Structure 1
């Protein structure tokens, strides 16, 4: 009976990821041809200074969707490697990557290139090293590399620095935070800024060095959710429902996982809650935070769908697929 359910056929199928990749690629190409105006959407005023410079001088408008597609593909690959290395879903599953591709595809506005795409990739690599530090007696090196990528990403998207607070708390919960590893984390975060300071000082352009800190301390109107577009509200509501269901499952069925795996899942739950709160407080950064929110959500939801086999979970899986299709149709309709 288990194998006859659609949920288990999809999650255990070896052709699921190739099929999803093909479907997403076709949808991506189709939307780019049907809605060429997406490539001409003006840059938002709240985009970080360094990111605006990269977009203006290095990337022509037509290349943004291609680069964005490649970045999402790299993120999908790292999601598979993350699960293979740490066994979050207790098997060599690729469901989390398929889910991530679907999330991104149903939002044509996310096919453009944002600073948050780079920040999400840097954060995912940072999470890998943070997980490696779990209960390590000599974790300074792992935390150094973890915070190095946080620092690199924060130059492009300064608000990423805020996540270092969560990283420190989680390192403490992973029993890898000592005075030495804390100093290693601090040095890792500072290293990109040392290079930035050297460049700014040498060329007498110290404003370049101050710019990320100024942008980090600049806050928009809090809880001003009216600024969110309809497609952003729709995908946030969809992700919130899936997150609640998957998080409840992780907590309720946590005894089935190893202690290490439960710690990883709890980190992903904390990260997702943190992201939802940050989007609610500063909705003007929604576009940049959505890629990272989809990363944490895709792992949790993949964990839920792969490891459940009840009738209710199968019904929820079907409802989720139908809702995702309707969400894609709604987003297409808003572009007409």
Structure 2
């Protein structure tokens, strides 16, 4: 028999996201109200949460009316204070969600070159701040071939043009300033293979990253187990998110020296899957598991704040 639990109230309430936004605002700027970098980071985070909400609304990623995806994103960001200050890497998250808008709109479209061009353009724009983001282009091409069913020579070239346009513009700027010979040297440091070294990270950061990856794994399992309940279009879009999730997980594993940049993207993408998991998950002990998850992440947040400010 169905019982309306506190978790159901959190999942379905229209007040959940505003309450989470207010909590985020208060705790985010608490370390320094006059710190403009904190306000800048908060603005980008709130914008990303809004875009995630719109992405869900336009594509019906959840079968119920819920704001759990945006709420999950804010909650995960809140417990990671090292990501709170503004830096250019924060724009990569906005670019990823913006790319999803146009990529999802191309689903089974006969002439969708414009959508594909803009999806890859957003990826390329994000890569100007964080070059390894270019790897997501491979995930997009795989998704176009298997999930979106719109891969052909026209969409392939549209993706190439979208990827290269920002670099053409940058090359033109470098030529104007007579710096073309050195303009792209910064890419070498990002794509030079190095042995991953996890020992330089404090235990709290490793524990937080591990917890996020653990719940991401549970959300992936849930997605595959319950995908048949969704419409075909929603199922295919969920698999696109899963494809990107695997790609970001690989980046996390092989580029630990870029942990803050990669985990930012990973949190945004994971929030789509974990939000789906907690909004639609069922089971005898699932409510207790939901509360335990909140306590675990809250505990990690306290640990992270204490490690950062004490």
The alignment's TM-score, normalised by the length of structure 2, stands at 0.94
- Asked if 1:131 is matched to 2:104, the reply is yes
Root mean square deviation of aligned Cα = 1.7
- 1:296-332 C-alpha deviation (Å, 9 max, x unpaired): 1111111111113433221110100111111111112
Query: Are 2:30 and 1:30 aligned?
Result: yes
**Is the 2:208–2:300 Cα contact (8 Å) retained in structure 1?**
yes
Q: CA deviation at 1:101?
A: 0.6
Report 1:313-332 matches (<5 A).
Answer: 313-332=286-305
**Matches of 1:208 and 1:156 in 2, distance apart?**
17
**Total equivalences in the alignment:** 308
- Partner residue of 1:51? none
Match of 1:158 in 2: 131
- What is the rounded CA distance, in whole Å, between the counterparts of 2:65 and 2:133 in structure 1? 30
In 2, the alpha carbon distance for the partners of 1:167 and 1:325 equals 34
Q: Residue 70 of structure 1: CA displacement?
A: 0.7
Note the C-alpha offset of 1:176. 1.1
CA shift, 1:207, in A, is 4.1
Q: Which residue of 1 aligns with 2:173?
A: 199
- CA positional deviation for 1:71: 0.6
Cα pair 1:222 1:280 within 8 Å, conserved: no
Q: Which of 292, 303, 307 in structure 1 is aligned with 2:280?
A: 307
CA distance in 2 between counterparts of 1:88 and 1:225 reads 35
Q: Is the 8 A contact 1:139 1:177 kept in 2?
A: no
CA distance in 1 between counterparts of 2:131 and 2:217 reads 29
Q: Secondary structure at the match of 1:129?
A: helix
Corresponding residue of 1:175: 149
**Which string of whole-angstrom CA distances, capped at 9 and with x for unpartnered residues, describes residues 108-152 of structure 1?**
111112333111111111121111111111121111001111111
Conserved? CA contact 2:42–2:84, under 8 Å: yes
Instruction: Tell me if the contact between 1:126 and 1:149 (Cα under 8 Å) persists in the aligned partners.
Output: yes
Equivalent of 1:270, from 221, 229, 243? 243
1:244 alignment counterpart: 217
Q: TM (normalized to structure 1)? A: 0.87
| Contact 1:151-1:161 at 8 Å conserved across structures | yes
Cα distance between partner residues in 1 of 2:70 and 2:200:
30
Q: Deviations over 1:78-116 (max 9, x none)?
A: 001100111111234211111111111111111112333
The runs of 4+ residues in structure 1 deviating greater than 4 Å are none
Distance 1:286 1:25 in 2: 24
* Aligned pairs (5 A) from 1:201-240: 201-207=175-181, 209-219=183-193, 221-240=194-213
Cα distance, 1:2–1:17 mapped onto 2, change above 3 Å = farther
Give the deviation of 1:229 after TM superposition.
3.0
Task: For residue 209 of structure 1, report the CA deviation from its aligned partner.
Answer: 3.1
Q: Residues 208 and 13 from structure 1, CA distance in 2 versus in 1: closer, same or farther, beyond 3 angstroms? A: farther
More divergent stretch after superposition (171-180 vs 74-83): 171-180
The answer to whether the 8 Å contact 1:100/1:298 transfers is yes
Instruction: Give unpaired runs (5+ residues) of structure 1.
Output: 37-61
**Displacement of 1:208 after TM fit?**
5.2
Question: What is the alpha-carbon distance in structure 1 between the residues aligned to residue 293 and residue 11 of structure 2?
Answer: 14
